[in-house]
Structure 1
């Protein structure tokens, strides 16, 4: 008997958080004996999506700037209509070749509107398929707020017509989808909470540092790494610092930081033992992205969060504020951060006792694989409408 096939679309535009979360889920699906094909469309990142996952790499697109205004190709040129059509055709071809039982689309239609040029045709192709698929959208627990008028209504209509499941990768005791998506009640029959997609408990790292500063993918972490380097000079020399700049920090910036690193400060691009480093650290300093926070919660590490807010982004600020309310984090605003402010806050955080992590569900990757398996085994066959529309279906 053949293994059930999953077609998993993920597009990262700026950082690597979307790809990292999707890769953890894909790994859990493989462990549950699914055959997973992941379609990626961002800048390639070594080590992702991981072993056992088949990969289709579409031509690269990234965000034109920190505010996600416009798309550019891998060479930094604005994306053309011909480029979009080529990507769309490659995506549809990959879907037909895979013949999946399950389709997972990361973020869309709640996010990734920039990719409508290929995702709406994919949904039409799914609707026209003679082979019924279980279709799910894969979401982080806190969504971007302050969207333009009409966007939420459009999202609801797409979910009703094209999706069987809204997989919310969170613990409802920490954040519920209706808190950042006001029309969630209209699709509540499709919403399922999977738990937070955290890594497994980390092994102890070979090295220990007092302070671990991480910039995620590094595309927007230059200011944080630079401030941390200078802050280290203002604090006792006995403190050991680990600065992880991320794979997307420009090489010229990395070289400048490496040359300026004082004694006691180690600079890295990437650390595969990141979780272990957090487990042995006295303090983590980072942005407030979903994956980094999951790593911190799993490790039980004290943390200082500096949420990313460029382009009107609200998700990280919301997450950081909730953790601060639970006494699990200190928070500094991204705007106006200086080495002096950072050093003072680091000193304050080091003087606090290690936080007691509440019993949040951190096994969201396995939870997602279990939910998909259960729904796939119990689902019924549904008639298909004309291309471009699927019937409204309960999960």
Structure 2
């Protein structure tokens, strides 16, 4: 498919979310910025469909969904909760490669892989081979958050480097290097240094004025692993002054029975919600945010400029959120509580201490990573044509 001089550049964007919604939310912000900068975006999603994502004007292909078998990401299950079969994998792979050829992109972006999402090698390695065989080969980029899960298995980092060298033109790191650098969580980063570009953190735009004011906003991200945090916070509300106004956002994945039980026990002055479209503006009006330490939530907090108490997700040996929380604590931007052994009394005590602290001064971090991604891709396309 030849492009005329006025054609928009086509982007084929693969995103697989397995547990929470963070990967899809970040990719959706990037897709929006790409469209605003005159790209056409086709996003292939492989997780449970979520209303509102990836957003308007994005052409979407939803593959038959897979999710993580448990909090530790051990194994994949299909939309009915059954272990994924070889026939299922082959069907997804065929759909993915057919979509690639139908789109005939100028750029292929693969979220996380090969630095993460190893569970999806069954379809991503064939996808990379299909890209390499195309007559008009597109530019290939991987899209990474700023802090990676640290790997301990021998050979994993070397395999990642080989894949980047052989298949990828660009490593987009969605972070500010003054906050976190790739080599700090990926030991062989120097071997692909020439392909690395920092986009800035993919934060939302500056929030509007809040329609409601809450003292404390508690959020559980995608909601799949935040039940314990919401439950502890709900009990903590009864241990702190009744004058405090609370907003508890459970996320869309909390089971209905749990949400109903929480609603029945919430005291006056506590609002319980599955989702708040105005979440970013609520943070701007809040005295304190209480959340896990996922990439998108932290970006929301940094943009809003409010104090935060972070409870990093650590199940299955996850290190990314703990690393992010520790960096923010060192900068004086957050307090940290371990996920293990959290109790209402412990949480209430930490919240009280955080409310007594002065409002933090946010350092000048680059929070415009979505626009930065679009700018970098435009620049690389110009260089490629020379």
TM class, shorter-length: over 0.9
After superposition, the C-alpha distances for 1:8-33 in whole angstroms (9 at most, x for unaligned) are 00000000000000000000000001
TM-score (norm 1): 0.96
Within the candidate set 37, 44, 62, 1:39 is matched to 44
Distance (whole Å) between structure 2 residues aligned to residue 182 and residue 190 of structure 1: 15
Q: Tell me the equivalent position of 2:236.
A: 231
- Say if 2:213 is the partner of 1:208: yes
What's the TM-score once normalised by structure 2's chain length? 0.98
2:337 equivalent in structure 1: 332
Structure 2 counterpart of 1:136: 141
Q: Deviations over 1:53-101 (max 9, x none)?
A: 1100000100000000000011111000000000000000000100000
Aligned residue number for residue 183 of structure 2: 178
Count of residue pairs the alignment pairs up:
381
Counterpart residue number, 2:260: 255
User: Which of 105, 108, 119 pairs up with 1:114?
Assistant: 119
Q: Tell me the distance in 2 between the aligned counterparts of 1:95 and 1:185.
A: 31
Alpha-carbon shift at residue 147 of structure 1 (Å): 3.1
Cα distance, 1:146 vs. partner? 3.1
Which of 254, 270, 273 lines up with 1:265 in the alignment?
270
What SS is found at the alignment partner of 1:234? coil
What is the distance in 1 between the residues matched to 2:146 and 2:172? Answer: 9
Q: Look up the match of 1:165.
A: 170
Q: Distance in 2 between matches of 1:205 and 1:48?
A: 23
Partner of 1:318: 323
Among residues 345, 361, 364, which one is paired with 1:359 in the alignment?
364
Alignment of 1:51-130 (within 5 A): 51-130=56-135
In 1, the alpha carbon distance for the partners of 2:109 and 2:278 equals 29
RMSD: 0.7
Secondary structure in structure 1 of the residue aligned to 2:235: helix
Residue 380 of structure 1 deviates from its aligned partner by 4.4
1:304 counterpart = 2:309:
yes
SS of corresponding position for 2:284: helix
Cα deviation, 1:319-345, whole Å, max 9, x if unaligned, reads: 000000000000000000000000000
* Residue segments in structure 2 that go unaligned for 5+ positions in a row: 1-5
RCO higher in 1 or 2 (8 Å CA, sep ≥ 6)? Answer: 1
What is the aligned partner in structure 2 of residue 391 from structure 1? none
Q: CA deviation at 1:378?
A: 1.7
Q: Deviations over 1:288-346 (max 9, x none)?
A: 00000000000001000000000000000000000000000000000000000000000
